[in-house]
Amino acid sequence: MQRFDEASSTFQEILSITSEGNQEYQAVAYYGLARVAQSQRDILKARELGQESLRLLESIGNRQAPEVKAWLHLLPFEVEDQIGE
């Protein structure tokens, strides 16, 4: 659990120090936070953060957008879907 807390803190720090103009770093930080949320089984938060990452990546034409999009498609759609895992 400590590693997730450290990762979350790092991604939060990236968000706090990047300017609004640096959408690539923001998108990477959102994706990192989404992955942390997924690992903590907070699927709703993971989806929300992942979608923000994807929105930013697509807006700047970043090549990582398809990866994030594919990851989002693998997330359960309902909270109940994750119970069986």
pLDDT tens, 20-69? 779 999 999 999 999 999 999 999 999 999 999 999 999 999 999 999 99
Q: Is residue 83 part of a domain?
A: no
Start-to-end Cα distance in the chain:
19
Torsion of CA 13, 74, 68, 4, to 10 degrees: 20
The pLDDT, as a whole number, for residue 5 is 83
Report the distance separating Cα 39 and Cα 32, nearest Å.
Answer: 11
Q: Is residue 25 part of a domain?
A: yes
Q: pTM for the full model?
A: 0.83
Whether the pLDDT of residue 80 is over 80: the answer is: no
Q: How remote is the C-alpha of 85 from its chain's centroid?
A: 20
Range of the domain at 56: 2-75
Altogether, the residues listed in the chain come to a count of: 85
Q: Is residue 43 part of a domain?
A: yes
Q: Is residue 85 part of a domain?
A: no
Whether the pLDDT of residue 9 is over 80: the answer is: yes
Report the number of distinct structural domains present in the chain: 1
Whether the pLDDT of residue 82 is over 60: the answer is: no
Closest CA to 52 of 16, 15, 17, 81: 15
Mean pLDDT of 3-10: 87
